[in-house]
Structure 1
């Protein structure tokens, strides 16, 4: 393959040798073996499918668009004003030998690993108008898509259709959705900002038990352990326990990643980083307690105390492109935590150079809650604001709403746009 590129005003070329098989291009090598990537190259067909989905006016038309079955790696949740809801787990799913481990590389030189056609849309894992009245997906398995574990689906679908684990966020979603009845848009927004951390409730008791198992528990950890023991697993900007829990569980992730079978795939890694398969049972009690001691030592080194409230550490700061985070610039305390903790309002902050605080880098960015009816109603929120100009009042005007779950109305109809306009103009003015 020869590529052209410019260097100054000179047009140059560079030639690369690439390799591929009928399974697809060679993308990497491991243990003296080449690995190829096989997928569908839908291209224009995929674009057409998305166009038809957007133009669909009812469930039948939407399903007809999906039935093109050219979309890879996406799950679809649907709702309409007629009261229909639906959830399809996947779209383009090839038929494969169920005896193979399709989560990892398989031998490419045998007929047993050839695809054997494609599943029909109706054969995919899905729910259409389930009896419980809602569906949920938080980058998680469909087996809990309506709350209760679906043993029938698990028994009747091949495992490669169900590769995902149950994330702490999904557990939190089920917890709040099961309580909702006759919910308004504001009820749903409030539920989405629930502060209970199911990931912490899953793992912190293991740490507490590990501490009690030690013949001589470190006395310097007695107070941090007591802080965690009395915690209700609610995230809060004033909560020291939230700080300890997030930093401790972050230290579990590399230990879990180190156990993955090589070469591992993104699915394996992601199921750990999103919290679905984080485990502590393989970590000796001494090591679990040692990780907490590391957290305490790092906090004391950076802040002079281990009693650092989560809001002091976990901050939102919006800067112009290319401008670095800094403790000397304005920022806001955020109660939300990473998704692996179970926070529905996922917010991932990281330590940055020359700063003691952590600043948000990924998580929920644009969030919307929509009610379908004769007219659309809904509310939404952005991280920061809609303007990219730091001098604009709309650069950070949505920060309080983003943090506290106070969303703005979605302005969808022309009359509402005109009513809320700050300025109007005609082309040429």
Structure 2
């Protein structure tokens, strides 16, 4: 979602006093969910690939689990440490995944403060008192030593108040008083049909995310889930809002039926990759922006992954399991993408020095793939990464010539050349294992790397846990999955700490053993955990 902090950032980008508000905001690296039904498959099957991107390590890295009760709960998929339910995954009858979307669900109001009483603000011509409370903030000093400080928190009719410099802003956002997300996640986990899953989504406690759904009844469904405020028309809600008028303080959401939904497009496919929600399937089946209010604040950005999905689903008239996986593991940049266009602006420039001339030739000869043997990908990905990072941070990218010169220096210093094979540049690392991996930023085989101590790229986000679920024309289910490391995410002594890396880099899957008969044949140990009193 677009945050109030981001709006302040855009408004006050040159003011250093605001830097602390957003310096720790994490970039969203993206997610993919692909779905096809019998209209698109060769064998009449229904398929979904769930591929939500997260950091590969840390508290927000996926781990895989199968939760089954004797009361109808039977879910398998991905979750985070401490979660009591599955976030993305499947049961016998349905499957779903989520991708990050960025609808405008928050607003920042500039308040007018009483010059004679800083504890009052102007609303509808009257000075109103802020409501206040004392909050306690634990501050970590060093090791186990903590210190608790007290601060006064202010609230206006709009919401919590942020004081920065000599200005005061009130923040208002969807879900600010909603604590029922747990109920909605659990309802989704217990759902066994499209209707039941939609009923869970109608709770509106999960305020954003694109949902892509598939089931054994051959349904595929796209939901641009957004708890969008019902805002007044004719106001520029993208900027800072006048905080002196109560009529601009929204107090309800648009109805569930008013947000974007697409059920069973005639094309037979849906691809959600963090893109413009009006471009998730064949152009003839996409929703029409004119049918929706501009106050929803929907994103218009396209990703390379979206362009490639559109191109690939257009290239293959029908898909089967093999082709569906081929699309998922595609590692190419589209010439329609921002990434390619950023690089291509260099091609018509004249450079005098030989290093620049030779590097331009490397880029011109790039087939835009990020496969092992590719000798242009290292330079190409390095250059385009500058544009990608800037776009994620909502900044104008630097001149690509600057990026290119920096990349020439980086690659030359690390490898002694600007064209090392991608297999010598891009790695996934787990313990003592360091293995080459295909893919790159914003390709469908999404690998986002950071420089390690040796100067190589170490995968830090993107493709982690992903799952391929299918039902044949008779409703018989099959499933397969892979984790970037293994099912033991923390125990370095476990054989499952890194036993999936080889399959992962070979772009293969393991069986899920979701069915009871498969699980019983492949169980090596059973643990019984006693319940507390």
| TM-score when normalising by structure 2 | 0.66
Structure number having the greater helix percentage: 1
Shift of 1:149: 7.5
Question: Does structure 1 residue 125 correspond to structure 2 residue 224?
Answer: no
Question: Which of 401, 404, 414 is 1:302 aligned to?
Answer: 414
Shift of 1:118: 2.0
Distance 1:116 1:157, change over 3 A: farther
Question: Does structure 1 residue 411 correspond to structure 2 residue 503?
Answer: no
In 2: Cα distance, 1:118 partner to 1:2 partner: 29
1:266 maps to which residue? none
Shift of 1:202: 4.7
Question: Does structure 1 residue 311 correspond to structure 2 residue 420?
Answer: no
Distance 1:30 1:309, change over 3 A: farther
Q: Assess if the C-alpha contact under 8 Å between 2:437 and 2:505 holds in 1.
A: yes
1:163 maps to which residue? 299
Distance 1:304 1:200, change over 3 A: farther
Question: Secondary structure of 2:269's match?
Answer: coil
Shift of 1:75: 1.8
**Structure showing greater relative contact order (alpha-carbon pairs closer than 8 Å, 6 or more residues apart):** 2
Shift of 1:72: 1.0
Shift of 1:417: 0.7
Q: Assess if the C-alpha contact under 8 Å between 1:97 and 1:113 holds in 2.
A: yes
Question: Secondary structure of 1:250's match?
Answer: helix
Shift of 1:124: 0.9
Shift of 1:178: 3.0
Question: Secondary structure of 1:135's match?
Answer: strand
Question: Does structure 1 residue 138 correspond to structure 2 residue 238?
Answer: no
Q: Which moved more, 1:24-33 or 1:330-339?
A: 24-33
Distance 1:30 1:92, change over 3 A: farther
Unaligned stretches of 5+ residues in structure 2: 1-133
Q: Assess if the C-alpha contact under 8 Å between 2:279 and 2:286 holds in 1.
A: no
Unaligned stretches of 5+ residues in structure 1: 258-268, 273-277, 320-328
Q: Assess if the C-alpha contact under 8 Å between 1:25 and 1:38 holds in 2.
A: no
In 2: Cα distance, 1:86 partner to 1:228 partner: 39
1:331 maps to which residue? 434
Cα-Cα RMSD:
3.1
Describe how 1:57-72 pairs up with structure 2 within 5 A. Answer: 57-72=192-207
Shift of 1:99: 2.7
Shift of 1:208: 4.5
1:357 maps to which residue? 456
Distance 1:350 1:6, change over 3 A: closer
1:368 maps to which residue? 467
In 2: Cα distance, 1:9 partner to 1:225 partner: 54
| TM-score when normalising by structure 1 | 0.81
Shift of 1:364: 1.7
Shift of 1:145: 1.2
Shift of 1:36: 1.7
Q: Deviations over 1:267-307 (max 9, x none)?
A: xx4567xxxxx77xxx6xxx433431221122112222222
Question: Secondary structure of 2:346's match?
Answer: helix
In 1: Cα distance, 2:139 partner to 2:511 partner: 48
In 2: Cα distance, 1:204 partner to 1:217 partner: 23
2:189 maps to which residue? 54
Shift of 1:375: 4.0
Distance 1:362 1:207, change over 3 A: closer
Q: Assess if the C-alpha contact under 8 Å between 1:337 and 1:347 holds in 2.
A: yes
In 2: Cα distance, 1:203 partner to 1:418 partner: 48
Q: Deviations over 1:396-428 (max 9, x none)?
A: 221122222201112112211111223457789
1:422 maps to which residue? 524
Distance 1:108 1:377, change over 3 A: farther
In 2: Cα distance, 1:87 partner to 1:129 partner: 9
In 2: Cα distance, 1:425 partner to 1:117 partner: 48
In 1: Cα distance, 2:339 partner to 2:226 partner: 34
Distance 1:181 1:408, change over 3 A: farther
2:353 maps to which residue? 218
> How many matched pairs?
391
Q: Which moved more, 1:44-53 or 1:228-237?
A: 44-53
In 2: Cα distance, 1:138 partner to 1:78 partner: 14
In 2: Cα distance, 1:67 partner to 1:403 partner: 39
Question: Does structure 1 residue 382 correspond to structure 2 residue 483?
Answer: yes
Distance 1:55 1:5, change over 3 A: same
Q: Which moved more, 1:129-138 or 1:112-121?
A: 112-121
Distance 1:247 1:199, change over 3 A: farther
In 2: Cα distance, 1:427 partner to 1:253 partner: 46
